[in-house]
Amino acid sequence: MADENSGSGASGLGWFLAGLGIGALFGVLYAPKAGKETREDIVNGALEAKEKAAVLVEQGRQKASEYVEQGKQYVEQGKQYVEQGKQLAAEYVEQGKLKAAEIIEESKRQAREQVEKGREYYDRGRTQWTQYVEKGKSLAEEQQAKVSAAVDAAQDAYVNTTTETPV
């Protein structure tokens, strides 16, 4: 049938009816029949056209139903794809959150380690500084004691040499 090849039932039906009308008009004008026979032929042609139109309408409805059903399936399939996309996106977001939390925790741990090392170095430096200060004080006291002893020895020597008479 013409509508199956053209792909559009409504357009095919319109062309069919136009062709039928034109054909009926030429048939009436050029028919060598009597008026009664012509009227019967016109009625018969109209009935045939009505039957063919009903068949074409039914075929159009069936095609429309098929297309509607197919559309529903596509919509359902699209909904499934959207749902799968949402699920995948949610999984990726969750994985991203977990990875970000891991990175943050690792960064915090490393920061704590560096702070602790800094404290250790500070404490070690302060302890060494204190030790050096104590050594410096001790050295200064030793030198002061040696200088005092030398001064005392020099005084004693001076006193002993001036109070003794030369011989």
DSSP state string for 31-87: --S-HHHHHHHHHHHHHHHHHHHHHHHHHHHHHHHHHHHHHHHHHHHHHHHHHHHHH
Residue 167: pLDDT band by 50, 70, 90 thresholds? low
And the tokens for 157?
A: 């020597």
> For residue range 77-98, what is the model confidence (pLDDT) as tens digits?
999 999 999 999 999 999 999 9
Coil, helix or strand at residue 89: helix
What pLDDT is stored for residue 39 in this prediction?
76
Give, as one character, the DSSP assignment of residue 165: P
Whether residue 103 has pLDDT greater than 80:
yes
Mean pLDDT, residues 103-109 taken together: 95
Residue for token pair 């380690």: 113
Confidence band, pLDDT 50/70/90 cuts, at residue 2? very low
Q: What angle do CA 43, 47, 52 make, to 5 degrees?
A: 145
Based on C-alpha coordinates, what's the Rg of the chain?
A: 59
Distance CA 158, CA 155 (A): 5
Question: What average pLDDT score do residues 121-130 get?
Answer: 91
Instruction: Give pLDDT, residue 115.
Output: 95
